[in-house]
Amino acid sequence: MLPDFPFYGPREVSESDNQGNRIIESLGTNRLSENCIGDGETEVDLLVPVESALNSDPRVFRAKGIDSLPAIGIQRGVEIAVPYRLYLPRRFFPQFSLLASVKPMDRRGGYLFAIVNPYDTMVDVGVLLEPA
């Protein structure tokens, strides 16, 4: 049996609004999608754990994104951690794609999304924006 790997939502890097707050765009939804020959398509909405933090952390807030579409603002230092199996299947997708609109407020970089090992020492799958 596989351990429950923590799944980390946006941390360190997201987008920014006019006040310098970072935001995660939700142009429709940000999803992890998998489509294999002979299998049905599976979608995972990665904004679900972020939206649950809207009510519990004042550093996570609703904001306006590109073309005034709805977005979620996340200030630097917010870490949203949920168990891997709550949102992702037991066996990770053999083929997948990740879609996100990101506009960083600074050049420091960091992880937008990461799946880490049980000891939180290694990123197994992640989206990292490198410092510029």
pLDDT digits (tens, 9 = 90+) for 94-126: 888 888 887 778 899 888 888 888 888 998 888
- pTM for this entry: 0.58
Query: Any idea which residue has 């992880």 for tokens?
Result: 111
Residue 1 placed within a domain: no
pLDDT band of residue 15 (cuts 50, 70, 90) is: very low
Residue 13 placed within a domain: yes
Residue 125 placed within a domain: yes
Write the pLDDT tens digit of every residue in 53-84: 888 889 888 888 888 888 888 888 888 888 88
Look at the chain and report how many structural domains it folds into.
1
Mean pLDDT of the chain: 71
Continuous H helices in 54-125: 84-87
What are the backbone angles phi and psi of residue 59, rounded to the nearest 5°? Answer: -85, 0
Residue 52 placed within a domain: yes
Other CB atoms within 10 A of residue 132 CB: 8
- Domain hosting residue 123, numbered range: 6-129
Residue 53 placed within a domain: yes
